[in-house]
Structure 1
Amino acid sequence: MSDQSVTDSRLDELAETFEFFDDWEDRYRYIIDLGKELTPLDDAEKVPEYKVEGCVSQVWLLVAEDAERPGALQFRGDSDAHIVKGLVAVLLTLFNGRTPQEILEFDARGALDRLDLAGHLSPSRSNGLFSMVRRIRALAAARGGQSEPTLH
């Protein structure tokens, strides 16, 4: 199984779970529940260096080497808003355990379109979501020694 199919299976699983819910209110609750499962960052990690610019809510993203897959990255994140913390969890599901190159090649916009997230978020939350994606891609590019391509 290729690494891309692993990520596709994660996206498939998220999409199937989203489709299970009859309305967006239930999907929002599910997203919030995903956020509650994240390990909160320590206050010492909630510093400007890790803060995502372009989000109305406060969001922090950190990256480290993946202990289980050499060359891959593991992201951690947190937010002061429940729904946004859930959106962080969705992105971590999609991006964790991938190499910098895989992250940069991943069609994040297509994945988020498939989940229909941007269409059901306020414009400021949608902008914040894509700011988080840009931050993840920038961290991956820095780890991979590459320049960051434009968001697809």
Structure 2
Amino acid sequence: MNRLDDMVDIFDLLGDWEQRYTYLVELGEGLPQLPEIHRTEENRVKGCMSQVWVKAYRDPTDPALIRFHGDCDTSIIKGVLALLIQLVSDRTSAAVESLDVDEFFGKLGLDENLSPNRHFGVYAIVELMKQQVRTLDAAALNAG
């Protein structure tokens, strides 16, 4: 079973959207704080109504894997960010690039329960994650 299917199972167990929103808030509260040094314009998600930052970096013990840190100033989107980080951290660049936002929205029911503005913001978060992975890959190619 993949990570997205595991998330779907949890969402199914929660039942109604009030419980799911509570779960998203709790996930967001559990995100490790993003160090202030990474709250840069380069790491800020543009096109999102919330203030969101994402930072990609290589796993120090396995440089083939990418990890993410992130933070947000609104609780629901911070929870969605936590889900995205769980979904793509400790994965290869190719796995991050293959993330299908529409599948993510659809399987979790977010497409019907988040406002269009929040949808746009989540697309922007994923695009920045993918852009950062491409930057890491380019830097590794140039260093090699």
* Fold match (TM-score > 0.5): yes
Q: In 2, Cα distance between the equivalents of 1:68 and 1:9? A: 23
Alignment partner of 1:19 is 2:43: no
TM-fit CA distance, 1:68 = 4.2
The one-letter amino acid paired with 1:69 is: D
Query: Which of the residues 40, 47, 50 maps onto 1:47?
Result: 40
TM-score (norm: length of structure 2):
0.89
The one-letter amino acid paired with 1:76 is: H
Q: In 2, Cα distance between the equivalents of 1:119 and 1:48? A: 31
User: Identity percentage over the alignment?
Assistant: 33
CA RMSD of superposed structures (Å)? 1.4
List per-residue Cα deviations over 1:45-97 (Å, max 9, x = no partner): 22212100011010000011113433110000000111111111010011101
- Asked if structure 1 preserves the Cα contact closer than 8 Å seen for 2:57 and 2:136, the reply is no
Q: Which runs of 4+ in 1 moved over 6 A?
A: none
Aligned-partner SS, 2:57: strand
In the other structure, the counterpart of 1:99 is: 92
**How many residues were matched structurally?**
138
Gaps of 5+ in 2: 139-144
Gaps of 5+ in 1: 1-7, 146-152
TM-score (norm: length of structure 1):
0.84
Alignment partner of 1:32 is 2:25: yes
The one-letter amino acid paired with 1:51 is: R
- Structure 1 residues 122 and 16: CA distance shift in structure 2, 3 A: same
